[in-house]
Amino acid sequence: MEPYTIIKSIVMLVALTGAFSFFFIQVRRLYRLMMAVEGTTEFKVDQVGRRITVLITDVLGQSNVLRKRMPGIAHAMIFFGFLAVQPHSLELMLKGVCPAFDVGHWFPGFYGGYLFIADILATFVLLGFAYAIYRRTILRPRYLTLGADANLIILFTCLIIITFQCINMFQTLLPLSPGAYDYRGIFPVSGLLVSLFGLETMSSQQIFAGYEISYWIHMATILGFMVYIPGSKHLHLLAAAPNVFLKPLEREKAIVTTDLENEELETFGLGKISELNWKNVLNLYACTECGRCEEQCPAAITDKPLSPKKLVHDLKVDLLDHSEAILGGNLDQVQSIVRENSPITGDVLWSCVTCRACEDICPVNIEHLDFIVEARKHQVLMEASFPPELQETFTNLENQGNPWGFDPDSRADWSKGMDVPLMSDNPEAELLWFVGCAGSFDDRGKKISEAMARVLHRAGVNFAILGPEEACNGDMARRTGNEYLAQTLIQQNVEVLNGYKPKKILTGCPHCFNIIKNEYPRFGASFPVVSHADFLFDLHQQGRLQTNGNSLGTLTFHDSCYLGRWNGIVQSPRDLLRAMNNGQLTEMQRIREKGFCCGAGGGGMFMEETLGKRINVERAEEVMGTGAATVAAACPFCATMLSDGLMDKESNIAVKDIAEIVDAATA
């Protein structure tokens, strides 16, 4: 063997051993950190077959990233190209240590086919990065941060690909040793470049030098990249696929339930980073910092201090900063998440409207709300720290079972003279209508309830309400972190519902719908629940509601987050409105699962919105952009927020609930 070949073997062996060892030590440390946090989760790895399918479609098929067309295509080009290069790079590493290692010699047909494809896909990586650089430097969307880390990764990857193709070029020119694989004519792109640059005229020493220089740069970059990944933002290259594999498989998602009776629990919610559970940590590792969540977040869009992307990043930094203490079991040294000079402030946590736009758009299925609501829970239950205006709301919920403090015995007063039966008088009703606090007490909500009652009578529905037996559904208290109060309210309703065992529950409020359908089963009440959007559309389909043919003029529809994004009910309200308005419906820009919050969710309805632009004003401007005369909502809180936003803009666009529209169209 040539002395150079021997030296090369030794250097490669040392480099590979060092780089792989360092890589595995780092990965092991990250894994140990993930398992050392003290939070627990009920999550179980179930439906493995379905999860594998998800992995194939979402990661290998790139379906999540492709939801955003151009950046998605660029990402897919980089992903597939980079993946395709790896086997050849690995082979070159092994060949560096042991020159006799020759896959081409053993499997010539398969190997040739692979190299042909890898050579083309490698070029795609460069095209993908060209677009990424154009996007970062020319388009510059505000949610994409231009850190040194990102630039370094681009540099690393481009170097890997360029040197990969240089190796390919020189491989076609190197003199053939007897029995070795013949690379000539294998590489479509690199072969073309050889002719283009006229490399055939190079001397054999120049070709050898060109190959070796390309080889060493390629190896240094690829091994450097491997060592760099676990400590960089590109940790997602390792964590994204497992995180997608473990994602929630159903759309519905409940807030984490805290066992308040558990005497072993010393604290509630998320106060310190060490209180995360392993799945939360995997979420933090998986973030690609793509900024899609921030682009959709109503809080970030309206210049509040919350950016879901930054929150995930800040939590990850906090975790890594405390890794020594956590791994050493010194949890008393871990500081609170919300502390002096922490980027995670009360304003960050209380800016969230729990719309879930971030989770829905995240290509790697990060569950931001688990962090936000759990952190709120800790602030409320352990620190008694929350926006002061919530105090009165909490007191009213606690004492009167509604956020405004009305006499609970007057809950059914809105229905006086409307022949609306109580469940206590009509326990066999085919439908229990859970009216909700807004529909029972709020002036705007009461009008919607009256319209709904007229429609139900008109369609001949045998229904009844709970009246004074109904309490607030608990949604507002849960999402503002007052889990104790929420569970008290939920238990109260659960007992009443279990007493009647309703055949079906109808809701006119998406917050009632979501919590009764998705969260009450965890507290022992499991009944079929239907939203008024679905129910009214069904009544129309069954021919139980005849339209009068009057046009309502130009109409647009605002998706409630808790109906659309949380529960996927986006089509029935549209079909219903079209049926009521002679087929006419104009759409806003942000609709369906990508709808834009009205600002009321997550307790927003009961908090002062003093930072940034008002979310309802942002939405009102979008409504006005449609030129519609009326905007329809399917939530009493949305109706109020939209009315306020439009009033702020001095617009005379009417705001109607879908029940009011059906009432007017079928009178």
Closest distance of CB 543 from ligand SF4, Å: 40
Q: Supply the DSSP symbol for 64.
A: T
- Smallest distance from ligand SF4 to CB 646, Å: 21
In the complex with ligand SF4, the residue whose CB is nearer, 353 or 646, is: 353
Q: Residue 128: CB partners within 8 Å, gap ≥ 6?
A: 73, 74, 75, 76, 77, 78, 81
CA quadruple 518, 523, 529, 533: dihedral sign = negative
Residue 558 or 656: the one with the smaller Cβ distance to ligand SF4 is 558
Give the nearer residue to ligand SF4 in terms of CB position, either 171 or 283: 283
Q: Where are the alpha helices (DSSP H) in 135-235?
A: 148-173, 188-197, 204-228
Q: How near is the Cβ of 593 to ligand SF4 at its closest, in Å?
A: 12
- Which C-beta is closer to ligand SF4: that of 369 or that of 465? 369
Q: Which is nearer to ligand SF4, 363 or 401 (CB)?
A: 363
CA-to-CA distance for 565 and 256, rounded, in angstroms? 18
- Inter-residue contact 255 to 373 (CB < 8 Å): yes
CB 596 to ligand SF4: min, Å:
10
CB of 75 to ligand SF4, least distance (A): 11
Q: Which CB atom, from 132 or from 299, has the smaller least distance to ligand SF4?
A: 299
Q: Is the separation of the CB atoms in 604 and 568 below 8 Å? A: no
**Cβ closer to ligand SF4: 348 or 576?**
348
CB of 439 to ligand SF4, least distance (A): 24
What is the C-alpha to C-alpha distance for residues 483 and 519, in angstroms, rounded to an integer? 13
In the complex, least distance from residue 73 CB atom to ligand SF4, rounded to whole angstroms = 17
User: How near is the Cβ of 280 to ligand SF4 at its closest, in Å?
Assistant: 12
The answer to whether 643 and 654 are in contact (CB under 8 A) is no
Q: What is the DSSP letter of 605?
A: G
CB 274 within 8 A of CB 322: yes
Q: How far is the CB of 359 from ligand SF4 (least distance, A)?
A: 7
Measured CA to CA, the distance from residue 269 to residue 120 in angstroms comes to 51
Compute the least distance from the CB of residue 268 to ligand SF4, in Å: 21
Whose CA is closest to 562, among 588, 535, 589, 531? 531
Kind and range of the H or E run holding 431: strand 431-434
Question: Between 306 and 552, whose beta carbon lies closer to ligand SF4?
Answer: 306
CB 109 within 8 A of CB 139: no
b/e burial code for range 294-311 (CB count within 10 A of at least 16 → b): bbbbbbbbbebbbbbbbb
Which amino acid, 154?
I
- Residue whose pair of structure tokens reads 């208290």 in the numeric block: 477
Nearest residue (CB) to ligand SF4, 183 versus 637: 637
Q: Which is nearer to ligand SF4, 313 or 649 (CB)?
A: 313
Q: HEC profile for 35-54?
A: HHCCCCCCCCCCCHHHHHHH
Q: How far apart are CB 532 and ligand SF4 at their closest, in Å?
A: 24
Decide: 448 and 659 in contact? Cβ < 8 Å.
yes
The residue with tokens 């595995």 is: 24
Helix, coil or strand: residue 549: coil
Bridge partner list, 654: 630
**Three-class SS state of 422:** strand
> What is the amino acid identity at position 511?
H
Min dist. Cβ of residue 307 to ligand SF4 (A)? 8
**221 vs 288, beta carbon nearer ligand SF4:** 288
Tell whether the torsion through CA atoms of 44, 47, 373 and 252 is positive or negative.
negative
List residues binding ligand SF4 (CB under 6 A). Answer: 287-293, 296-299, 306, 308-309, 312, 352-358, 361-364, 366, 368-369
Residue closer to ligand SF4, measured from CB, 390 or 505: 390
Rounded Cα–Cα distance for residues 367 and 359 (Å): 6
